[in-house]
Amino acid sequence: MIDKIAALEKIARQLEPDDTTRQELTKQVIDHTSDFLSVLDHEQAFFQNTEPENRDTLSEEPESMDQLLQFLRNQVEKDGINAASGGHMGYVPGGGLYPSALGDYLAAVSNKYAGIYFPAPGAARMENMLISWMNELMGFPPTATGNLTSGGSISNLIAVVTAREAKEVKAKDFDKLVVYLSDQAHHSLQKALRIAGLGEAQLRYLPIDDELRVDISSLAQTIKADKSKGLIPFFINASLGTTNTGTIDPIGEMSEIARKYQIWFHVDAAYGGFFQMLPEIRKRTTGIEHADSVTLDPHKSLFLPFGTGAVLIKDLTSLYKAHRYTADYLQDLVDSDSEVNAADVSPELTKHFRGLRMWLPLKLFGLKPFRAALEEKLLLAQYFRNQLQQIEGFEVGPPPDLSITMFRYVPTDGDANAFNEKLIKSIQDDGRIFLSSTSIHGKFWIRVAIVVFRTHKSKIDLLLDIIQEKVQELSS
């Protein structure tokens, strides 16, 4: 047995490269990323890989880092949406700040477990500090808490489950619960309700006005009618930046109604939340401080890499009631009186130390350039819309609340929806800029989501040229 252990150890030690090998591997990766970033501004925003699909496999034998990086470049980086590109203006893109990648590297090397205070006090304090900063940004009290999540879907799930526990609803009443939202709410909310066991809850889709905001003129009457029928008004959802159009719902008025009828009030600010750093946006979101929960996605309007979300919750007791468990093997843990354990306020137990990817760029750059980038994106959306309005044949959506705007071309004859379907396909096939589309009440629209920190005026001017070029091609 001793000889076998020694033989196995010799092979297993291949998992721990020596210092020289580590330095060489690191250099190869850094050189690769430097090459990626140095040409990024001139690369396609969308790649359509014409090579046969490569089904990767694993084997017992090693491959060189050079081979692996070449595969990564050809089969991953140059395939599909170039999500790091300033030309990515489809969906609601993220950013991928470089210092965040360094933060991930440091987190992975140290392998700190940030879920519980006892094994990693510094990591827990760092993540809780970030949560406190976001709570302050939303106007929440110092007693509010939250969690760094993988994204808005898990954040919305945590909010829904916490609301269920806070309102002490029982399974026998799930079909009596009523959720109030608009058809512009992100579908992750409906998904969260189903996962939380509330799939039988009744959804009241509130109408939207001409600006695509929730029309709450009948909300109070709807709530009263539901109560008179023996139903339980449970959850009101407002959006601070809808995914479709970037619209800000009337948060202040909705919060007043929620408080009057003692309904859980949730603000989905996954896309728009960090625009709260701008005074002009904060003026338009008065009332968010009265929310019970808020969803944020730092991987959107804070420009971090995908996989960085957050949920803020005022009521720690209900958050614990929904998520806090312990086990015999954790009996050695010593809790801190002043720090919340991330594992106690989330479905996740083991989780990545994702706070480091957020903390490092915020500390390294300071808040000022983030605020400037956000204001720039607001103005770029307005600039694009203003420029397009001056070109004959184009119809634009409502003035953007944030940095998403939409447009469509209306040909002199033929079906406008069909024309715009061809137009978006033509823009995507071109690849220099990536846009996406949506349909609102039967109208086909093309969306321009200006969120990547690398998107500047030169990209918007290029987009305007491409749109006119493609319209001309399709028209002829």
Using the Cα atoms of residue 105, residue 89, residue 283 and residue 155 in order, give the sign of their dihedral: negative
For 212, 366, 405, the CA distances from 246, given in Å and listed in that order, are 9, 26, 7
Cα dihedral sign, 161-165-170-173 = negative
Q: How far apart are CA 81 and CA 118, in angstroms?
A: 41
Q: Are 370 and 277 a contacting pair, CB within 8 Å?
A: yes
Closest C-alpha to 140, from 148, 130, 132, 128: 132
SS (H, E, C) the chain: CHHHHHHHHHHHHHHCCCHHHHHHHHHHHHHHHHHHHHCHHHCCCEECCCCCCCCCCCCCCCCCHHHHHHHHHHHHHCCEECCCCCCECCCCCCCCCHHHHHHHHHHHHHCCCCCCCCCCHHHHHHHHHHHHHHHHHCCCCCCCEEEEECCHHHHHHHHHHHHHHHCCCCHHHHHHEEEEEECCCCCHHHHHHHHCCCCCCEEEEECECCCCCECCCCHHHHHHHHHHCCCEEEEEEEEECCCCCCCECCHHHHHHHHHHCCCEEEEEECCCHHHHHCHHHHHHHCCHHHCCEEEECHHHHCCCCCCCEEEEECCHHHHHHHHCCCCHHHCCCCCCCCCCCHHHCCCCCCCCCCHHHHHHHHHHHCCHHHHHHHHHHHHHHHHHHHHHHCCCCEEECCCCCCCEEEEEECCCCCCHHHHHHHHHHHHHHHCCCECEEEEECCEEEEEEECCCCCCCHHHHHHHHHHHHHHHHHHHC
Of 49, 101, 105, nearest in space to 79 by CA: 49
Q: Which amino acid is at 136?
A: E
Q: What pLDDT is recorded for position 114?
A: 92
pLDDT for 95 equals 80
Q: In this predicted structure, what is the pLDDT of residue 52?
A: 60
> What single letter denotes the amino acid at residue 66?
D
pLDDT of residue 304: 97
Spatial distance between the Cα atoms of 446 and 444, rounded to a whole number of angstroms: 7
Q: Token pair of 407, please?
A: 């447009």
Contact 291, 266 (CB under 8 A): yes
Give which of 471, 400, 464 is closest to 244, Cα–Cα. Answer: 400
pLDDT at 93: 79
What was the pLDDT predicted at 351?
Answer: 87
CATH class of 105-365: alpha beta
Q: How far apart are CA 86 and CA 380, in angstroms?
A: 13
Length of the chain: 476
Measured from the Cβ of residue 379, the count of other Cβ atoms closer than 10 Å reads 13
Distance CA 140, CA 134 (A): 9
Q: Which structure tokens are listed for 339?
A: 């720090």
Contact status, residue 450 vs residue 400, Cβ threshold 8 Å: no
Per-residue pLDDT of the chain (476 residues; tens, 9 = 90+): 999 999 999 999 999 999 999 999 999 999 999 999 999 999 999 998 766 666 788 999 999 999 999 999 998 999 999 999 999 999 887 789 999 999 999 999 999 999 999 989 999 999 999 999 999 999 999 999 999 999 999 999 999 999 999 999 999 999 999 999 998 889 999 999 999 999 999 999 999 888 889 999 999 999 999 999 999 999 999 999 998 889 999 999 999 999 999 999 999 999 999 999 999 999 999 999 999 999 999 999 999 999 999 999 999 999 999 999 888 887 887 776 779 999 999 999 888 899 999 999 999 999 999 999 999 999 999 999 999 999 999 999 999 999 999 999 999 999 999 999 999 999 999 999 999 999 998 999 999 999 999 999 999 999 999 999 999 999 98
Amino acid, single-letter form, for residue 1: M
Six token digits for residue 264: 């859980």
CA distance 431 to 102: 29
Q: Identify whether the C-beta of residue 435 lies closer than 8 Å to the C-beta of residue 467.
A: no
Contact 463, 448 (CB under 8 A): yes
State how far the Cα of 53 lies from the Cα of 76, in Å rounded to an integer.
Answer: 11
**The pair of three-digit structure tokens given for residue 145, joined into one six-digit string:** 């808490």
Residue 362, both tokens: 């915020």
For 437, what's the count of Cα atoms within 13 Å in the CB-facing half-sphere? 20
CB-based contact 235:196 (threshold 8 Å): no
